[in-house]
Amino acid sequence: MKISKRKIGLAVAGLVAVSLGGAAIAQDAAANITARQKDMRDVQTNQLAANDGAGKGDMARAKDASIKLNLAFRDAATRFTAGSNSVAGKTTRAKAEIWSDPAGFKAKIDHAIDLTDKLVTAASGTDPIAAQLAVGEVNALCADCHGVYRGGG
Ligand code: HEC
């Protein structure tokens, strides 16, 4: 069988494309790990600020923090992508269960988005007690998800 140089060239080009594709996916995965960890730190900062604002009756502070908290959860929900469970040179505490039980994880993060939507509504009103109750429900989310989907360290 005669294999033309052109065919070999095409085959090599194909292999290069495949390995470049793999590298691009690993790069995206690493970026997603970095982004979701920042999102989680934003979640924490704004959870504390929302509690503080609601507790003191500072509704402007509670509202601002609630919006940022909601956006951080919304962004985090997009960052647990295929391949970002483990990337060479990156540390992540995301547990394998996120990828083995994607529906369970999605339910928890959707619940977090839903409760922080409700918090934004409450904190946009004029009743600090309503905002305190809503932020109290959000406070319970952290350990509930971390207990199952975040590892030690
Ligand atoms: C739906 C699941 C889920 C919920 C809800 C959740 N977290 Fe997380 N959180 C995670 C996972 C998974 C990680 C590990 C991410 C990683 O290392 O890749 C994490 C990591 C963190 C980190 C470490 C970030 C870093 O610098 O590496 C902090 C801080 C954090 N979460 C705070 C919170 C707080 C505060 C709440 C509640 C207001 C909360 N999280 C709610 C899943 C969740």
Work out which ligand 1 atom sits closest to the CA atom of 108: 1
Instruction: Report whether residue 44 contacts ligand 1, using a CB cutoff of 6 Å.
Output: yes
pLDDT recorded at residue 2: 62
Structure-token match 């979701």, residue found: 36
Residue 19 has pLDDT above 60, yes or no: no
Instruction: Tell me, in angstroms, the distance from the centre of ligand 1 to residue 43's CA.
Output: 8
d(CA 63, CA 87): 36
Instruction: Report whether residue 138 contacts ligand 1, using a CB cutoff of 6 Å.
Output: yes
Q: How confident is the model at residue 24 (pLDDT cuts 50, 70, 90)?
A: confident
Record the tokens describing residue 90, joined without a space.
């990156």
User: How many residues are given for the chain?
Assistant: 153
Span 39-78, pLDDT tens digits: 999 999 999 999 999 999 999 999 999 999 999 999 999 9
pLDDT recorded at residue 26: 78
Instruction: Tell me, in angstroms, the distance from the centre of ligand 1 to residue 42's CA.
Output: 10
